[in-house]
Amino acid sequence: MSNIQFSQGVSNINISGIRKLFEAAGPNAINLGIGQPDFDTPANIKLAAIKAIEDGFTGYTPGLGIPELRNAISDKFKRENGFEVAPGQVIVTSGASEALYITAASLVNPGDEVLIPNPGFLSYKAIVNMLNGKDVSVKMKEDLTIDPNDVLEKITPKTKALFLNSPGNPTGAVSSKEDVKALAEIAEDKNITIISDEVYEYFIYDGEHVSPAQFTDNVVTINAFSKSYSMTGWRVGYLGAKGDYVGQIIKVHQYLQACASSIGQKAALEAITGPQESVVIMKNEFEKRRNVLIKGLHEIGIECVMPQGAFYAFPKVKNCEEATMNLLKNDVVVTPGTAFGANGKDHIRISYASSMANIEKALEVMGRVL
């Protein structure tokens, strides 16, 4: 067995360092490292899933997803995001994660370049590398949003796509309409695809969410029920795109996944068409916590750009890995900025998807330790 040659793409990527860190945390640690809402899935959504099981809705569904859900997603894109894709141009996936992978797999040849935000969500680089593509880092501006000028500078004849993530993980930053429009124009001009990861769309406290698909057809828009409806474990996401994209992407989806979970899709249908109060409740609670956290950090003397969205703050902390270990020894778990790319080196990521009491305790520890 010892001389099995694994694929270069997979051999070269690393297991996520974040997990190891969490595993090192003590039983009483306050976990501000987590990337999921600390709310239960709303009851109406759970009931829809129970009903699906009781009704025997347990077989494969069409590869694209159940038509009612694709209709609802197509309506949502039109109503909330200002662009039109037909229900036949929507694929329901196993979370945004699958949507990100199958989109990239349909575009990237070995050696192709893909622009990724640095710091950015870990999966982007890993996906590109698994496909034997080359990840090319794009810098953030002072406000931690992606810099369209740097995007333009990094484009070469080999560039295939750009991952855009607003509101962003790990920064919580929300790109301005102006910048999203500029990026859309660049994509069109240079014939590249924007893979727009909009999973934090519903958690914006200042500013507005702008989908690049409003401005160009060179976009695959990706979203999920995971964060918006506190359904991370259900594994339901989706993508929508005009033109030829879905015709190619569906092939990867069919052979990789066949279809998203039938029960999950029924739950997702209730999430998107049912009452939306739970989203508002979560959003309001996150906003309160954000305000307390940022005020607290500033009082300690830690610099932090006010995050406009998601549930992350990305304050400036030198020697972030050492600082993270020191916090861990004091039972506070955060994530070093380096986990999200080299440009995150002078930052830590704090998730405020944790109770106000935890945030207050963590602030007290940070005041002592940092």
Ligand X SMILES: Cc1ncc(COP(=O)(O)O)c(C=O)c1O
Nearer to ligand X, 237 or 336 (CB): 237
Cα 343–347–349 angle (5° rounding)? 110
Exactly one of 128, 224, 317, 320 binds ligand X (CB under 6 A); which one?
A: 224
167 lines the binding site for ligand X (CB under 6 A): no
Within 188-207, the residues that bind ligand X by CB under 6 A are: 197, 199
Instruction: Mention every residue, 6+ apart, whose C-beta is less than 8 A from residue 77.
Output: 83, 84, 85, 90, 211, 213, 221, 240
96 lines the binding site for ligand X (CB under 6 A): yes
Asked if residue 279 lies in contact with residue 130, where contact means CB atoms within 8 angstroms, the answer is no
Nearest approach, Cβ of residue 7 and ligand X (Å)? 23
- Partners of 313 in the β-ladder: 350
Sign of the torsion angle spanned by Cα atoms 96, 102, 106, 111: positive
Instruction: Write down the residue that tokens 């992978």 correspond to.
Output: 101
293 lines the binding site for ligand X (CB under 6 A): no
Q: Judged by CB under 6 A, which stretch of 58-66, 69-77, 93-101, 293-301 contacts ligand X?
A: 93-101
Nearer to ligand X, 296 or 337 (CB): 337
Rounded to whole angstroms, the Cα distance separating 318 from 2 reads 41
Residue with smallest beta-carbon separation from ligand X? 95
Pattern 120-149, binding to ligand X, x per CB under 6 A? -x----------------------------
**Closest residue by Cα to residue 33 from 293, 261, 361, 352:** 352
Nearest approach, Cβ of residue 241 and ligand X (Å)? 17
Exactly one of 74, 89, 129, 165 binds ligand X (CB under 6 A); which one?
A: 165
R_g of the chain computed on alpha carbons: 20
Nearer to ligand X, 213 or 363 (CB): 213
- Partners of 366 in the β-ladder: none
Footprint of ligand X (CB under 6 A)? 35, 95-97, 121, 165, 169, 197, 199, 224, 226, 232, 237
